[in-house]
Amino acid sequence: GITHLNAREIASNFIKQFASILNEGGSIFANWRTRKDSLYKRGKEIDGDTFIIDEESHKGMLYYFPNLDEVEKIYESVGLKITSKDYEEFSTNDGNIINSWHIIEAKKV
């Protein structure tokens, strides 16, 4: 999950860098926190859907929460074809904390 720790442009650049070193047919697998996640809007918003988290467990960390369309555009813009889109969600602390991710696998074509 490195992608959710970085602002939109940085996350896009990470995917671009991965795409540049993949062999044709090579795959990349990444998770992206969704807006259903408990960390969403838990801090200072510094850019669209990008927050410096103020929750004690993630204090000071930078998180970007893209919607699925935004994630798809990032992959498409660097020439990667998404081969699998999944979603994972679970709760902790008696359901008070929601952990929610888009799980994406893509190939270089």
**What residue ranges do the domains of the chain occupy?**
2-108
pLDDT of residue 56: 92
For domain 2-108, the CATH class is alpha beta
Question: Could you give the residue ranges of the DSSP H alpha helices within the chain?
Answer: 8-21, 68-77
Those residues whose C-beta lies under 8 Å from the C-beta of residue 57, and which sit 6 or more positions away, are none
Return the structure tokens found at 67.
């919607």
pLDDT of residue 11: 85
pLDDT tens digits, residue range 32-73? 999 999 999 999 998 889 999 999 999 999 899 999 999 999
| pTM of structure | 0.84
Closest CA to 87 of 97, 98, 74, 96: 98
- From the number of C-beta atoms within 10 Å of its C-beta (0-12, 13-18, 19+), residue 46 rates as exposed
